[in-house]
A = this chain, B = another copy of it.
Amino acid sequence: MEPKDTNKKIGKLYGLGVGPGDPELMTLKAARLIRECHAIVIPASGKETNVAFEIAKGAVPEIEAKELLEISMPMIRDEIKLKQSHDKAAAFVISELEKGKDIAFLTLGDPSIYSTYIYIHNRVAAQGYETEIVPGIPSFCAVAARLNEGLTEASEALHVIPASYEGIEEALALKGTRVLMKSGKSIGKVKAILEQMENPPTVKMVERCGMQGERVFTRLEDLDEEASYFSILIVKDNGKIT
């Protein structure tokens, strides 16, 4: 048997949040790492893909000269197939790290909040490879900025709820500010729940915040049920003056 080459350079995986849409909302660190990494990974499926790449390109045009690795990460409901898909994607990333490449895996918003990256991250880290999460601005912070208002004050709670959440009715009734992520298809359902509340809350929605086709809705009754996947609802108790 040949001795293992212990001097072999192994790459590092960066899960890189590019923020919510506006390239200027990328961090200095994300911009630097895109310049420094050898290869860029984007999921080949899904709408988030090219969005993340386009955001990064807006801030760091040099990204176009980098090696671009597209990996298949279909949005599957079947749990076993989904895990297999994540295993396969992680194995691919590892094979590239083994070639000595530092890799920036682009993810919309922040990698720690509802990103598909985290499934790859966990697998790659568990196998002993060097990994790092690089925070990005979460979409709901950009939505608050777009609405020009705060999300939470003083001793209020902030509840971030994916639209696919099982106990959505209960979650919408929590005290404090409620943020509904990736609302898309469930806007109709959520609207109906909110309309029936005893003390109707203040509801606003931003679709495609900071991206082309952005739309802002400031009244519950105006919410477009046909709005895209990139829609975020902010639900607040009414009428506090600070």
Residues on A facing B (Cβ under 8 Å): 17, 19-20, 22-29, 31-32, 59, 86, 110-115, 118-119, 121-122, 125, 131-138, 141-142, 144-145, 148-162, 164-167, 171, 174-175, 242
Contact = CB atoms under 8 A, between A and B. Distances in A.
A155 B162 CA distance: 6
Contact of A141 (B23, B138, B167): B138
Nearest to A163: B155
Nearest to A58: B28
Contacts of A121: 150
Contacts of A144: 110, 112-113, 133, 135
A119 B28 contact: no
A152 B159 CA distance: 12
Contacts of A145: 111-112, 132-135
Given A24-B28, A28-B59, A137-B136, A162 B151 contact: no
B160 A157 contact: yes
Nearest to A115: B150
User: Which 7 residue pairs spanning A and B have beta carbons closest together?
Assistant: A112-B144, A118-B150, A24-B29, A133-B145, A158-B160, A135-B141, A112-B151
Contacts of A133: 144-145, 148-150
A150 to B, nearest CB: 4
Given A27-B26, A112-B150, A151-B112, A135 B125 contact: no
28 contacts: A17-B141, A19-B135, A23-B28, A24-B29, A24-B32, A26-B28, A28-B31, A28-B59, A110-B144, A111-B150, A112-B149, A113-B144, A113-B158, A114-B152, A118-B242, A119-B242, A121-B150, A122-B149, A132-B145, A133-B148, A133-B149, A135-B137, A135-B144, A137-B137, A154-B164, A156-B162, A158-B161, A159-B160
A112 B141 contact: yes
